[in-house]
Structure 1
Amino acid sequence: MRFISILCLLILTISPCFAQSPRASAEVTTLISQGPLLAVLDHDNSSALSLVTLFRKIHAAQKLPQPAVADGPTRASDLSQFSGTYAQFAAVMSADITRITAGLGIDWEKEILKTYDPKSAKTDAGKTLRLNGNVARVFNERWLGSSDGLFLLSGVVNRMDRRDFDSAHCGELRFIYRLGYEVRMNGKTYASRMPFTVNMVFSYADDGRNCQDVASLWRVAGIDTDDPAMVAQRLLQGPLDFSRLIFKQMEINAEVVRFPSDLENMENRKFAGQAIYWMRIFALRGGKFQPTRLENTPDVQAILKDPAKQKQLQDYLAGHIAEIDNGTFRIPESLEADIALSFSTAGSARMANRPFDLAIGSEQAARIVAAAGVPGRSQKFVQSGAGLLERLNTSSCMGCHQSSSTAGFHFLGVDRFDFGRDADAIRNALDGNELQLPFSPHVYAELVRRKDYVERVSLGQAPNSFRPHPSAPPAAWESGNPAYVVAGDNMPCPLNADLAQAAKWSCNATRNLTCQALVTNAATSSNLGQCVPAAQNVAAGLSCRSNVIEDSTAKTAANNPLGFNLRAFSDRVSKEELVYKLPEGKLSGYGYNCRPTKIGVPLGRVTRPCKPEEASLAVIRPGSVPEEICAIVGGKGFEQMAKGYFDSGIFAAGVGRGLLNTCSPSRFCREDYICQQMPDFVTSARFNVSAPALNNLRSRKIGFCTPTYFVYQLRLDGHPNPR
């Protein structure tokens, strides 16, 4: 016994890693998003997880040329020197944007200051529109090679659950970066992130033990408590050890066109602004990045034109109902597209984001389900033809990215200040343009499922491979079927019997919420509802208008050279109705008001002026979780920024205050809204909020819900021109 004790002492002395015993006590981790930790992992080009470092590793593994890159933060101009990979992607994106702008057939602009210059019009109609800046704003692809453009690590995502789609590996590891910038102009620092993510996907090599060893690596101690430098070393010697990883692909999701709300009103489309998001995946072939097929995203036009492809798709669906029902299927690559465009606003109800509604259609889907004996046998998700289409559509790129997402994204990451020349200047420049939460409601729910999955694999147990609906709330996974928590105010909910019991969830009955159809579209196979409070429980932030959408996608599906849905921006709201009997128009007194969609608030928004005690935030006591808060709302400051670049000082001088709904790590915003952080400038004399009151909110990560495009880092416009 004494010999064993001495041996253990020697081992512990030699190897501090054994002394920590992290894998015996720590819970598994599925997401790394802590700002201080990201700053250690990605500080400059020499950092372990800078995007330049990842491209160097990819080039070394493929024996591709290694360009010389200067020291400093990772700039787009550095990455553009990787000629066969990053530069190849940038060239494809630039060509696609040219095709998109040609296909739009309307006036557009890449430089925000020119949107108000009639002389810059590209069409005769554009001259009139530009008097008020009402033209489509297009992503300026010069950012992809600019020395002003920066790529910042936003998070590291453990996707071991992806082994269900690739049994030869132990799942995936994803490094997510966002495009941002720091620019000095007019004696000021301008800085922001932009709606553009790069997802570098690596596969874990098979460990020969049913992935148990890889899963156990994710028991990392002290992620939220220990020194970030120490935690970074544990990660790099454990789950982030590149000797275990094989590069798979680079995935891009970027907002490429934005239609401002005033343009929507002028063109009678009546959406509170729209946006198009561009999605492509690049994989190495022949030493170069080439676009590759998008998982479960059908090439609608190719299928509609070719009866053989139609039959191939129908045969696949009929023969793989069980995998589709479980959510662990993949349609044949020969039927998949290599580009996807997704659309917001009201993305979950748009045909543009439901490609299988066109590729298969409701009648054929019903026949496939009936032939398979559904609902005669036990099903987890699919209960009808519409349920089959719901599973297929939400498994496509555009369908998933418009299901309980935030501005077409599921992971945006925390705001960082550790890039560029001056962290304090960047912090000041970002004030009023920061997010409170780093991920979407979908990811919040998914993290619970993924953690259970990795935990079970680490213990040598079989995980539950069922994929819920992407708009479902979190669930407990101890039993065979997920036990969902109830959905809160204005959260999505299933309206009918199209989903099987294991895929259904309900609204919070204790709050008297009922599932109602606030957005309907007769062209789509199904629509989700929202959990709507009764009139006596009306509160700030709630939806107060319902919309009926007249869809244009099906009418133009066969004629667009780029994709079946390029002209889906022509969809329009054909009917609006009030949900509650509330006054509209000018705010007065302290009564609730339904702010109209036309000012840029999707489905309207219940609000009222703040009372003096609410404006100071003093009514929010430590430990309490308020449902309403006196937040910042539009005003002259916001309107001025919409005509140029985001300037925190000018913004603060002109914004107003109003009562809105709160958000937090367990309380999310409804579709087309995002959780914004309360800015530092509210502690100025103009707003009269004390520093302790603001710190009380920050310490509990409480923010407020605002329309997505009211936050400038989620708009492609409102930023300086790249140099």
Structure 2
Amino acid sequence: MRLRSRLLAVLFCLVSVDARAEGSGLAIADAQALHALEASRFGLAQMLAPASTQPIANDLLFALPGMAPIHAVLDVAFTRYLADHSARSPHESIGVGAGHDVLLFDRAMLTSPDTRFALAGIVNRMDRAYVAPESCGEIRLIYRLVRSNAGTTPSRLPMTLNLVLHAKTADESITCADLARRWLAASTFTETGQALADRLTAADGPLAAVNAAQIDRIETNLQIGHRPKSEAQDFRTDYLQKVFHVDAATKQFREAPMENQIDRDRLLADPSLGRDFRDWLMAPDNFRALDRGTLLIPEKFLATTSLAATPVGFAPSALQPAFGLMADDRGKGVFTERDVVTALERAVAQGGALDNIRSPAGFARRLSDITCGGCHQIRGIGGFHFTGADTSGGQVVQGVVPASPHFVGDQPRRRAIVMSMRDGKAPDFSRGFADRPQARGSAELAGTSVLDGWGATCYRRDKGRTDASFASWTCADGLSCQRVSGSADSRIGMCFVK
């Protein structure tokens, strides 16, 4: 009960800092404004099929030629999840609705006439311009699955669909600097609702030229299974993540390898492939890129599925792909501590001290948090980082926490990058660990639950010994770093009252 109270309090703490995410101008979470934008031209159907004039239900959405492959892939993923669960936990029943040990997401909801994807947020990710500089980074339209039956208020379901766009439009007269200037100007907008939607889409607004031609991919994240807490077991929730790139020729979305989602099982099963990955990653330039958080792992080492569990402390090791790559006591693994220490020494000798990785433990943690699944396991709200505004009802909801601590803590870094782009300067794309914001945001975030305040992630010193990768993970005055029951790593704790 004490742990549960602490975790709930951490979520409530977010209410005091979520305004920082919206106020940065890089995340649109005003519920009425989003409702107006969706009703105009930013509904999922309007973006995918520009001839559409209004939002549509999912039975019609997945009937669109481009969307059919997504439904087929997700259906196969459900079948595989059921088979894997039966093999792993034959004593547990799994199914839709009450009465099962594990509650399964009702896949019928994906194509039901009673569900649709409602626009829940728009997020500027120009900080990802290091992936493809010519695209100026990304803009993400985030849709939340909602359900409504006749005569009832729509309810949100645990699934998001991100429509990821290239930030750069076809209008060559609009540069990256112009786009950055428009987004930063949005932080000064005081309007709400329809008035805010009008300013955002005005000729000089950040959404003025956004159109379907900018679509790069769709990312899906859904709570596929949930095991409620009981006297015999702790609760656990599994989140299935997939990525689908648009085929320029057919306009269909095709399943694709997920950025930096390491295929742990394949690397362990194929020693030759594992050695190739080790040698590639241990090269000084790649090791330094890993430290900075800008590493892009070649597709031959990647998986097309992420199955992330929360809380992390209760997840089977198979659900934590990067951690499983460190060699165990029997020597099974891709990397040894000596491999990491040697690579660290070479990277430092070549380019100076690193910012984050200063030990094998720091390497393992960084290797996990650059993966899709690892990142969503860390400081998320469940398995999500941006749950968005609730625009599903007739009276849309304001003031609901729209983002996770990780999302909020990353806003100062993202804003600094967009400011550099506006000013024509070379951006610093580096980032800290998913658990702790970078020092460049410390002044703005000091004392909050995302840095060193109550509920912040911290490092527990063990008999005076300090791991150099986490030495700065401290707590504000009056708080101490305490272990969280069930944590996968006893050294990582949370800041609570002494």
TM range (shorter): 0.7 to 0.9
**Which whole-Å CA distance do the structure 2 matches of 1:360 and 1:179 have between them?**
37
Higher relative contact order (CA 8 A, sep 6+): 2
Find the counterpart in structure 2 of residue 436 from structure 1: 400
Cα deviation digits, residues 485-525 of structure 1 (max 9, x gap): 75222321133644547x833111x223234464444xx7x
Cα deviation digits, residues 274-328 of structure 1 (max 9, x gap): 1111000001235232110111111112111212211111111111111111111
SS at match of 2:416: helix
Whether 2:38 is the aligned partner of 1:42: answer yes
**Equivalent position to 2:160, from 193, 197, 205:** 197
**Which whole-Å CA distance do the structure 1 matches of 2:358 and 2:180 have between them?**
34
TM-score by length of 2: 0.81
**Which whole-Å CA distance do the structure 2 matches of 1:195 and 1:79 have between them?**
18
8 Å contact 2:236–2:315 — kept in the other structure? Answer: no
8 Å contact 1:28–1:220 — kept in the other structure? Answer: no
Cα deviation digits, residues 670-713 of structure 1 (max 9, x gap): xxxxxxxxxxxxxxxxxxxxxxxxxxxxxxxxxxxxxxxxxxxx
Find the counterpart in structure 2 of residue 169 from structure 1: 135
Deviation of 1:254 after TM superposition, in Å, equals 0.2
Residue 477 to residue 227, structure 1, CA distance change in 2 (3 Å) = closer
**Equivalent position to 2:339, from 340, 357, 368:** 368
Cα deviation digits, residues 441-492 of structure 1 (max 9, x gap): 111111121112111211122322221111115754499xx98975222321
**Which whole-Å CA distance do the structure 1 matches of 2:485 and 2:56 have between them?**
44
Find the counterpart in structure 2 of residue 249 from structure 1: 217
**Which whole-Å CA distance do the structure 2 matches of 1:306 and 1:230 have between them?**
57
**Equivalent position to 2:72, from 85, 91, 94:** 91
**Which whole-Å CA distance do the structure 2 matches of 1:209 and 1:152 have between them?**
29
Find the counterpart in structure 1 of residue 63 from structure 2: 81
**Equivalent position to 1:218, from 180, 183, 186:** 183
Whether 2:409 is the aligned partner of 1:454: answer no
**Which whole-Å CA distance do the structure 2 matches of 1:379 and 1:147 have between them?**
52
8 Å contact 2:161–2:220 — kept in the other structure? Answer: yes
**Which whole-Å CA distance do the structure 2 matches of 1:167 and 1:441 have between them?**
28
TM-score by length of 1: 0.57
Find the counterpart in structure 1 of residue 227 from structure 2: 259
**Which whole-Å CA distance do the structure 2 matches of 1:530 and 1:307 have between them?**
38
Cα deviation digits, residues 219-272 of structure 1 (max 9, x gap): 33576522543432332343221269621110000001111113xx34xxx31x
> Which shows bigger deviation, 484-493 or 159-168?
484-493
Deviation of 1:77 after TM superposition, in Å, equals 1.6
Whether 2:235 is the aligned partner of 1:283: answer no
How is 1:51-200 mapped onto 2 (pairs within 5 angstroms)? 51-57=44-50, 73-83=55-65, 85-105=66-86, 106=90, 108=93, 110-112=95-97, 115=98, 133-184=99-150, 189-200=152-163
Deviation of 1:343 after TM superposition, in Å, equals 0.7
CA RMSD of aligned residues (A): 3.0
**Which whole-Å CA distance do the structure 2 matches of 1:307 and 1:255 have between them?**
33
Cα deviation digits, residues 93-112 of structure 1 (max 9, x gap): 11210121122114545442
Point out the structure with max Rg over C-alpha. Answer: 1
8 Å contact 2:237–2:309 — kept in the other structure? Answer: yes
Find the counterpart in structure 2 of residue 313 from structure 1: 277
**Which whole-Å CA distance do the structure 1 matches of 2:409 and 2:302 have between them?**
28
Find the counterpart in structure 2 of residue 122 from structure 1: none
Residue 373 to residue 475, structure 1, CA distance change in 2 (3 Å) = closer
**Which whole-Å CA distance do the structure 2 matches of 1:453 and 1:144 have between them?**
37
Deviation of 1:92 after TM superposition, in Å, equals 1.1
Whether 2:308 is the aligned partner of 1:342: answer yes
**Equivalent position to 1:471, from 403, 415, 435:** 435
Amino acid paired to 1:78? L
Cα deviation digits, residues 572-620 of structure 1 (max 9, x gap): xxxxxxxxxxxxxxxxxxxxxxxxxxxxxxxxxxxxxxxxxxxxxxxxx
Gaps of 5+ in 1: 1-26, 58-65, 116-132, 535-723
- Aligned residues with identical type, % of pairs: 27
Find the counterpart in structure 2 of residue 607 from structure 1: none
Amino acid paired to 1:37? A
Residue 257 to residue 474, structure 1, CA distance change in 2 (3 Å) = same
SS at match of 2:156: strand
8 Å contact 1:348–1:528 — kept in the other structure? Answer: no
How is 1:532-551 mapped onto 2 (pairs within 5 angstroms)? 532-534=496-498
SS at match of 1:504: coil
**Which whole-Å CA distance do the structure 1 matches of 2:322 and 2:467 have between them?**
16
8 Å contact 1:220–1:235 — kept in the other structure? Answer: no
**Equivalent position to 2:473, from 496, 505, 510:** 505
> Which shows bigger deviation, 464-473 or 33-42?
464-473
8 Å contact 2:56–2:116 — kept in the other structure? Answer: yes
**Which whole-Å CA distance do the structure 2 matches of 1:209 and 1:331 have between them?**
31
Deviation of 1:381 after TM superposition, in Å, equals 0.4
SS at match of 2:72: helix
**Equivalent position to 1:390, from 365, 383, 392:** 365
**Equivalent position to 1:411, from 386, 391, 402:** 386
How is 1:629-648 mapped onto 2 (pairs within 5 angstroms)? none
How is 1:560-639 mapped onto 2 (pairs within 5 angstroms)? none
Whether 2:26 is the aligned partner of 1:30: answer yes
Amino acid paired to 2:43? S
Find the counterpart in structure 1 of residue 481 from structure 2: 514
**Which whole-Å CA distance do the structure 1 matches of 2:35 and 2:408 have between them?**
23
SS at match of 1:205: coil
8 Å contact 2:222–2:239 — kept in the other structure? Answer: yes
8 Å contact 1:280–1:338 — kept in the other structure? Answer: yes
Amino acid paired to 1:147? P
